[in-house]
Amino acid sequence: MYNMEEWKHVFKLDPAKDLPDEVLDQICESGTDAIIVGGTDNVTLDGVLQLLSYIRRYTVPVILEISNIESVTPGFDYYFVPMVLNSSQKKWLMDLQHEAVVEYGDVINWDEMFAEGYCIMNPEAKVYKLADCNQPTSEEAIGYARMAEHLFRLPFFYLEYSGVYGDPDLVKQIKNELNRTKLIYGGGITNKQQAEEMSQYADIIVVGNALYENPKEALKTVKAVKK
């Protein structure tokens, strides 16, 4: 439906957080390639539906990044399914996903579904704690990226620093390992310089938190990477 191959910039909105309507309007009209709806805590069906119906007034593609099965609803363009590669519990890698497929497998439209191999690098991030992650060294992170590309053949490898700005050199090294698997980078991007820097290496950069803290600067990240 949309050409994901060309995507470079994505905003991530948290259904558990509020933004003024005028900021949401600016986000939807910013020229970003897509909006991901996703969060870690307190993601409810109500919150997801509210954001979906707001964003749907615009033409921007909208993706649900599934955090829990209760908040999944039809109506999104795509569904991204996180698999946390550096979790110490199999639950976050495949058991939750398996449960969902056992229950809803007959009605899932597989063409809209994409797995993301997450490698979570920031031990302070809520999602790192929730998924009981192990801190990967650079070498280990590269190992996960190689598995995503060659063994699992995942469509996306997501290097997640959620809340802090990551190491551009590692992003570069990981990009060098990936060919078919697209590299998503997210974490701590607050301004256009950072967006530009990470975008040199990552296929897609994700800007989340900055929209809630300094939307004016966050909005400038779109033009910084889509010239």
Nearest distance in Å: CB 106, ligand 1GP? 30
Residues 72-91 close enough to bind ligand 1GP by CB under 6 A: none
Whole-number Å distance between alpha carbons of 46 and 64: 13
Note whether 24 and 54 are within 8 A (CB).
Answer: yes
Contacts 24+ apart (CB under 8 A), 39-45: 39/14, 39/15, 39/67, 40/67, 40/126, 40/127, 40/130, 41/16, 41/126, 42/16, 43/14, 43/15, 43/16, 43/67, 43/68, 43/71, 44/15, 44/16, 44/70, 44/71, 45/70, 45/71, 45/72, 45/73
160 belongs to an annotated ligand binding site: yes
Residues 164-223 close enough to bind ligand 1GP by CB under 6 A: 186-189, 206-210
Q: Give whichever of 81 and 101 is closer to ligand 1GP, judged by the CB atom.
A: 81
Q: Give whichever of 74 and 123 is closer to ligand 1GP, judged by the CB atom.
A: 123
Nearest distance in Å: CB 29, ligand 1GP? 20
Nearest distance in Å: CB 105, ligand 1GP? 27
Q: Give whichever of 178 and 204 is closer to ligand 1GP, judged by the CB atom.
A: 204
Total number of residues that touch ligand 1GP (CB under 6 A): 13
Q: Give whichever of 160 and 197 is closer to ligand 1GP, judged by the CB atom.
A: 160
Q: Which residues on neighbouring strands pair with residue 65, listed in sequence order?
A: 80
Burial of 28: CB neighbours in 10 Å, binned 0-12, 13-18, 19+ = buried
Note whether 56 and 31 are within 8 A (CB).
Answer: no
Nearest distance in Å: CB 210, ligand 1GP? 6
14 belongs to an annotated ligand binding site: yes
40 belongs to an annotated ligand binding site: yes
Binding residues for Mg(2+): 14, 40
Residues that bind ligand 1GP (CB under 6 A): 12, 160, 162-163, 186-189, 206-210
Binding residues for sn-glycerol 1-phosphate: 12, 158-163, 188, 208-209
